[in-house]
Amino acid sequence: MTELSQDQQRLLEQLKEVGSRSYHDQHPFHRRMNTGELSREAIRGWVANRFYYQTQIPIKDAALISNCPLREVRRAWLYRITEHDGVQGEEGGIAAWLRLGEACGVPREELLDDRHLLPGVRSAVDAYVHFVRTEPWPVGIASSLTELFAPDLMARRLEAFQTHYTWVPSWGFDYFQRRLTQARKDSDSALDLTLCYCSTPELRQAAVQALSFKCGVLWAILDAIDLKYGPSPL
């Protein structure tokens, strides 16, 4: 990224502001996860439900590529599909999440058949895919920028699992570990593309709204999980 224009600098600040206000690291469920307060059932429920989000990411990224007439942007985005789907065997993020499930005691087939999937999680994730499918592709890219804030959360989560949830064997943490570095790489690329292609006042505003929407999606996922698996009301 070359030096930013004033408009780009302002957009960057607005995006960071949205993330610091609305990213789901502040959700009560995540706070309790990171301080070791979740039951095994709650961890399993989170793993099973978040899996649906993982399965839809390559579908969302293919929709974005399908909306984009610029070969250089398609080229820059395509590795994300491979990153999640892998090329063969047990490669890729989806397979890594299946291993996390097994490590937490949720059998592979229970993840794959969606038996634990909550309606609120499904609708939030489906809304995200629909958003990227139907919005202009630069706005779709901006909606991925929750990745900007992911590495810190992922690092805290990994530490929380290693400290508090020692009943989960560490061979299950492959997904967390790969995202620690990959999310930074992804968000750098997505941020460059957002700043480059959200080049009108309308697109810049839409980019900020897209990130806000996406924070809402992640928050809604945790709301549904928290309601089902969270602590009973006093």
Instruction: Using the minimum distance from each CB to its own copies, give the nearer residue, 7 or 192.
Output: 192
Query: Which residues are within 8 A (CB) of 124 and not within 5 positions of it... i.e. 6 or more apart?
Result: 217, 220, 221, 224
Burial 203-221 (b: 16+ CB within 10 A, else e): bbebbbebbbbbbbbbbbb
Query: Contacting its own copies (CB under 8 A), which of 87, 119, 233, 234?
Result: 87
Closest separation in Å from C-beta 125 to its own copies: 13
Part of the chain binding its own copies (CB under 8 A), chosen from 83-91, 102-110, 143-151, 188-196:
83-91
Query: Contacting its own copies (CB under 8 A), which of 65, 145, 154, 218?
Result: 65
234 binds its own copies (CB under 8 A): no
| Cα–Cα nearest to 190, from 73, 33, 42 | 73
Give CA–CA dist 103/25, Å, rounded. 23
Give CA–CA dist 182/188, Å, rounded. 10
Closest separation in Å from C-beta 161 to its own copies: 26
Q: Give the 3-state secondary structure of residue 3.
A: coil
Half-sphere exposure of 157 (CA within 13 A, CB side): 23
Quote the tokens at residue 200: 């009108």
What is the contact mask toward its own copies in residues 92 to 131, using x (rule: CB under 8 A)? x-x-------------------------------------
Part of the chain binding its own copies (CB under 8 A), chosen from 84-92, 142-150, 182-190, 195-203:
84-92
Closest separation in Å from C-beta 92 to its own copies: 8
Instruction: Using the minimum distance from each CB to its own copies, give the nearer residue, 14 or 189.
Output: 189
Residue type, 140: G
Closest separation in Å from C-beta 139 to its own copies: 17
Part of the chain binding its own copies (CB under 8 A), chosen from 39-47, 58-66, 186-194, 197-205:
58-66
Give CA–CA dist 185/227, Å, rounded. 33
- Find how far residue 101's CA is from the centre of its chain: 17
Instruction: Using the minimum distance from each CB to its own copies, give the nearer residue, 25 or 85.
Output: 85
Binding region for its own copies (CB under 8 A): 55, 58-60, 62-63, 65-69, 71, 74-75, 78, 81-82, 85-88, 92, 94, 133
